[in-house]
A and B are shown apart, each in its own frame.
Chain A
């Protein structure tokens, strides 16, 4: 499935009940990226809102319209391994959760959502996404 965001965000109501599956979209430079479902970690390192189909199916909006893009400079071994295999960029969007207009969005008037993408010659795909609090 390919998602085109020319009409803006996909409404929350339109994707409720849908299975969260991978899809493709274009990033802000027109590169095709496969957005993968987020794998919950073994500990409580993710928020339930990230399991909502509206969260998943609108992540492409961040890739196409980021507020900031940062290369990975992490020394985490997992990050270093991916950096050796391709370019790793994190796309950052402020206020993403509120933009989704989900009923649960209103618990998050302030958020920064990050989507990390790995680019290789053969495939571009997301590695993770996270919600953070911006406070300064």
Chain B
């Protein structure tokens, strides 16, 4: 599995709904990849989704994102990415 780095996900997009507290940071390719071609790996409460054939990460998802990432709507994208990478790295 390729590592998640700030270079990897700097251009990824973010979806966050504060009312469901679901957060996703993703490479748009993930929308165009069928489920059978995707794998997933749990990293603590986060889920890392990757392309099976290349082992390339395409998305990180958090439920209860406020608890694990902080007040996303009031954070810079740089700070969000820092927290995402920090969380994923700290969970193996």
Contacts and interface: CB of A to CB of B under 8 A. Distances in A.
B71 to A, nearest CB: 7
Contacts of B16: 45, 130
Given A75-B66, A78-B73, A135 B17 contact: no
Contacts of A75: 21, 64, 66-67
Interface of B is mostly: mixed
A133 B19 contact: no
B90 to A, nearest CB: 21
Interface string A87-125: 010100000000000000001111100101000000000
A76 B31 contact: no
Contacts of A74: 18-21, 66
A110 B15 CA distance: 15
B30 A133 contact: yes
Interface in B2-60: 13-22, 24, 26, 28, 30-32, 34-35, 38, 40, 49, 59
Sort chain A's interface into a size bin.
20 to 34
26 contacts: A43-B14, A43-B76, A45-B13, A45-B14, A45-B72, A45-B73, A45-B77, A46-B13, A70-B20, A73-B21, A76-B73, A79-B18, A79-B19, A90-B20, A108-B31, A110-B32, A111-B31, A127-B19, A128-B17, A128-B19, A130-B16, A133-B26, A133-B30, A135-B30, A135-B35, A135-B38
Give 6 nearest A-B pairs by CB, closest first.
Answer: A43-B77, A74-B21, A76-B18, A72-B19, A76-B66, A45-B14
Given A76-B66, A82-B19, A109-B31, 13 more contacts: A43-B75, A44-B77, A45-B72, A45-B77, A75-B66, A76-B18, A108-B32, A110-B32, A127-B19, A128-B18, A132-B17, A133-B24, A133-B30
Interface of B: 13-22, 24, 26, 28, 30-32, 34-35, 38, 40, 49, 59, 64, 66-67, 71-73, 75-77, 80
